[in-house]
Structure 1
């Protein structure tokens, strides 16, 4: 694995140092705990960071309340810590703040070590919580744009679609192929990675619940499932027939229009006209010709679904694409 220092690592390192410095300047006891909170609250997305911060803040407040009740009400004894955790952990889980259990346990131990619950102690712990979480939230206000990476995925997936279509065209015309199918595996992996990245982009915007890039990659995923499905039937055609050449011409033209532009309806019309012309042709004379034409007809029906999926996807102009992160292609 390649050694690299990412932006999250930098934010964690700088944020931890700053939170400890601030806590130390405020003369808070156990000031290093602010650094621990910062480390735990810096996440890969803004929404995850906000959720983690809220979970830890609420869990720490809950821990302070439980500590006051158990230690002052029973005793400052190791067995009481176990008893406290026995009730505190289910309460934190029930409050959906389970991610804050570890950090709040540190607060519990601080109060136990102090030997008494006082106003100054609670304010000290509250100060540590606010500094640690606050610095993490400020650090996570900056998230690098994923636009260029998403666009890169889009271009690579479209290029692989083109390669696959070109190989289909080559086989329909020559019934020979030395293609190793590498693009099939690559495309599957790229679509999964691209969807995950697009979802991450949603998590970096508080006012956005969906990402047009994500819908774009979902559309490509559905189209790719069709491509995978038709490949075996195409490669099973052993007999050259006139319909095969017509379909090859159609797929060749289609492969040249895999770009951010909506031409799906145009190709659906061409596909319909081609199906009508097939119906007006002579019936097959041999079993081999019948099987070849049946396989080609199945392929045409699948390509119709491929184009219908595309036509239902919302197209965008170039300006909108740059702003929202997607475009339309066949």
Structure 2
């Protein structure tokens, strides 16, 4: 049994009991309205409650005018639907259709439009939607623990990808099933969805650290795909390739680091200088592979630049120690 089911059951009980205690007609409808009002985040709950309440009150007033002028006929109900429902869709308020229908059909059932009838429906709205909103505020499941798990999974997947890339550069005959390339996008998407939920559950706190992190990983994965396209052009073991493999081996650990120390970036700049001092390629095949390795290094530089923007800088007291060993990444922006 999920927590949302429990919240819904509590909200329905309180809403119906409150409506009956207030002596309202159609008290059971307060329970239905509370079911509609239970949501997955606090911010979304407030937004949907406000829009449904406003749209339903407007619909109630329009229906009351139509019924008062044209009478309570089936074609009058159809006319109301033809006027009001497209308007809700036009202003992106389609979620309010069910709420509006419940309230308006009460007026049809009464066969009269009076201040007492309209007041009864508005109070049902307040009790039903209000109860759901209060329950949402009292308890909304936290996703922080799951965010940490997804972050760890994404880091592990990237680390595994970089290790396989390093192995290919050392031995191009190495076989890799590439399952991490299928799992990483799903994990990143889940992280972005959870990050959005976490942000919408913090009304009075600023600074969303999770969304920038998973957005960085999404961009990183795009970069990794470009790297793999270049890697496929390296089909022989070269000294240059083994040097680049060392960078990816180090990066497989750095990807899990709490901080950005810049060790791989420093090693990459040094390696680029060494490449310039090496003899020119002798064969066309060697030229093409070394060209692919150079482009691979340029793409790696782009990857590191994105990480540098989001990861926290290495604290001065930490020195220049290697990142990524026994540490977890804690999102923090470096602007």
TM-score, length-normalised on structure 2? 0.87
- Partner of residue 220, structure 2: 223
Please say if 1:276 is aligned against 2:276: no
- Partner of residue 147, structure 2: 150
Please say if 1:303 is aligned against 2:300: yes
* Residue 242 (structure 1) aligned to one of 234, 239, 242: 239
- Cα offsets for 1:185-235 (capped at 9, x unmatched): 001111111111111222222245762211111111111111111213223
* Distance (whole Å) between structure 2 residues aligned to residue 218 and residue 256 of structure 1: 20
* Distance (whole Å) between structure 2 residues aligned to residue 260 and residue 240 of structure 1: 30
Give me the CA root mean square deviation.
2.4
* Residue 263 (structure 2) aligned to one of 254, 263, 266: 266
- Cα offsets for 1:35-91 (capped at 9, x unmatched): 111111111222222222112211221233223322222322222222233333345
* Distance (whole Å) between structure 2 residues aligned to residue 227 and residue 92 of structure 1: 44
* Distance (whole Å) between structure 1 residues aligned to residue 314 and residue 35 of structure 2: 42
* Residue 139 (structure 1) aligned to one of 132, 135, 138: 135
- Partner of residue 324, structure 2: none
- Partner of residue 33, structure 2: 37
> How many residues are aligned here?
320
* Distance (whole Å) between structure 2 residues aligned to residue 229 and residue 206 of structure 1: 39
8 A contact 1:261–1:315 mirrored in 2: yes
Q: 1:326 to 1:317 in 2, by over 3 A?
A: farther
- Partner of residue 321, structure 1: none
8 A contact 1:264–1:307 mirrored in 2: no
- Partner of residue 175, structure 1: 172
* Distance (whole Å) between structure 2 residues aligned to residue 130 and residue 155 of structure 1: 43
* Residue 105 (structure 1) aligned to one of 101, 107, 120: 101
Structure 1 portions without partners, runs of 5+: 319-324
- Partner of residue 21, structure 1: 17
Please say if 1:288 is aligned against 2:285: yes
The range that moved more, 177-186 or 53-62, is: 53-62
Please say if 1:326 is aligned against 2:326: no
Please say if 1:195 is aligned against 2:195: no
Matches within 5 A, 1:18-167: 18-93=14-89, 97-141=93-137, 142-167=139-164
SS class of match (2:259)? coil
Structure 2 portions without partners, runs of 5+: 316-329
8 A contact 1:17–1:35 mirrored in 2: yes
* Distance (whole Å) between structure 2 residues aligned to residue 164 and residue 94 of structure 1: 46
Q: 1:180 to 1:132 in 2, by over 3 A?
A: same
Q: 1:180 to 1:130 in 2, by over 3 A?
A: same
- Cα offsets for 1:162-188 (capped at 9, x unmatched): 111111111222223232111110011
Q: 1:317 to 1:87 in 2, by over 3 A?
A: farther
8 A contact 1:219–1:313 mirrored in 2: yes
Give the deviation of 1:317 after TM superposition.
8.8
- Partner of residue 320, structure 2: none
